[in-house]
Amino acid sequence: MDPWTAQVYRVVRAIPRGRVASYGLVALLAGRPRAARAVGNVMLECRDPGVPCHRVIHADGSLAASFPDQRERLRREGVPFVGARVPVARARVDVGRCLWRARLPREAGFGGSGGRLRRMTRKDSPAL
């Protein structure tokens, strides 16, 4: 398994039950702030039951069209939804209430031994 996949798995495994993280947040914690899309690709290939890939959702609370089980698996964990009065496929996660507030120091390789962090560039923060 390549390092990128391993790093993404490490982050996703850290998402607690009943909480969710956007692809973008996972990318951020994985040390690749703009690699949300690439995170999606990893999830697409993920067959490891130990990785709670259903807890990774769109930034606006909507879910990937091609992952039908996701809604039910989240519901089973008590993840709150909004739009309970519209088509099932439209219902979105109440991100405001269950977004994972990650602890930075140790989780996901920050400050720990594992994570590869890239030096910040102008593109990462225009304020630089």
Partner DNA sequence: GTTGTGACTTTAA
Partner DNA sequence: ATTAAAGCCACAA
Contacts to DNA by CB under 7 A:
2-5, 22-25, 32, 34-41, 43-44, 46, 53-54, 56, 58-60, 64, 66-67, 70, 90, 123
Q: How far apart are CA 84 and CA 4, in angstroms?
A: 36
**What is the sign, positive or negative, of the torsion defined by CA atoms of 15, 20, 25, 27?**
positive
Whole-angstrom Cα distance, residue 111 to residue 104? 8
Residue 59 CB, shortest distance to DNA, in Å, is 4
Instruction: Tally the residues of the chain.
Output: 128
Q: Quick one: 43 or 107, whose CB is closer to DNA?
A: 43
Query: In this structure, is the dihedral angle defined by the CA atoms of residues 86, 22, 60 and 64, taken in order, positive or negative?
Result: negative
Question: In the bound complex, what is the minimum distance in angstroms from residue 18's beta carbon to DNA?
Answer: 17
Shortest approach of DNA to residue 69 CB, angstroms? 8
Nearer to DNA, 37 or 103 (CB): 37
- Closer to DNA at the Cβ: 74 or 107? 74
